[in-house]
Homo-oligomer: A and B are copies of this chain.
Amino acid sequence: MIETTIIEKEGVGKLRNPVMVTGLPGIGLVGQVVAKYMIKKLGGKKIADLYSPHFPHQVMMTSKGGIRLLKNKFYLIKLKERDLILVVGDVQAITGDGQYEVAGKMLDYVQKHKVKTIITIGGYSSGKMSGEKKVFAASNNLKTMNRYKDMFVFGETKGSIVGVAGLLPALALIRGIDAMCVMGETHGSYVDPSSAKAVLEKLAKLFSFKIDMEQLEAEAKEREKMIKKIESEIEKQTAGGNKDITYIR
């Protein structure tokens, strides 16, 4: 294999007003948790696999004795009024130009399905451990920013977005596709189901779908408890130190 390859299953057919939503491994695994939860609860069906020579040159062994390539996967979720193409996966490309190639091939694929909107989901590391998590966003066009300014927090995130969550919307601009990166606020050093929950609530509103949040809420509470414990430990040790400090990097 010398370039990134997407293999679509047979019979995918024509999609209705499709939107691409990505949740690949990244900060706090926010995107991954959201996307996998949606696939599970909304009944996602796999429609394509993406393989890349820019992924690590190793393969996974499964618990049953199977063997498979590292990959990214495209799932189809059929909502009432539109179809969602969800992208999840084991890894992201490990080289810079590999990242550009993978993002480009993903765009080729969803353009074939006439996708006109892309939402990438990521985490934004604010160092905040517990409490309410904001949902930030950045878009590749002004219209989207204006339209969703009451739903997401625009303009409060600084710096750069690394990987597919950033490259997809930025490359989409060149192709005339509206795109937005939605970022759950997170500490950055933990898997964050609580931030994932905050993001998922917004997406449910955005695309008018209902989803059973029970399991994610349970995970979030469990994690929140653990984090609170860590916080109080730190507080004891630093005896009245500044709570705003980011303790763990």
Contact = CB atoms under 8 A, between A and B. Distances in A.
Interface of A: 1-3, 7, 51, 53-69, 93-101, 103-104, 137-140, 142, 145, 154-163, 166-167, 169-171, 173-174, 179, 181
A170 B139 contact: no
Chain multiplicity (copies): 4
B1 A104 contact: yes
15 contacts: A1-B104, A53-B101, A56-B96, A57-B93, A57-B96, A58-B160, A58-B161, A58-B167, A63-B155, A64-B155, A65-B137, A65-B157, A67-B138, A67-B179, A94-B96
A122 to B, nearest CB: 11
A55 to B, nearest CB: 8
A60 B61 CA distance: 35
A2 B100 contact: yes
Contacts of A97: 2, 53-54, 57, 95, 98
Contact of A1 (B66, B101, B140, B155): B101
Contacts of A99: 53, 57
Contacts of A140: 66-68
Contacts of A51: 174
A35 B64 CA distance: 27
A100 B67 contact: no
Centre residue among A58, A65, A67, A69 by max chain B CB count within 10 A = A67
A149 B67 CA distance: 15
A57 B162 contact: yes
B100 A161 contact: no
A78 B181 CA distance: 38
Contact of A68 (B56, B104, B170): B170
A13 to B, nearest CB: 22
A227 to B, nearest CB: 26
B167 A59 contact: yes
Contact of A160 (B60, B65, B93, B95): B60
Contacts of A93: 57
Given A53-B97, A53-B100, A58-B162, 19 more contacts: A1-B104, A53-B101, A57-B97, A57-B162, A58-B167, A60-B160, A63-B155, A64-B145, A64-B154, A64-B155, A67-B139, A67-B166, A67-B170, A67-B179, A68-B140, A68-B173, A69-B171, A95-B96, A95-B97
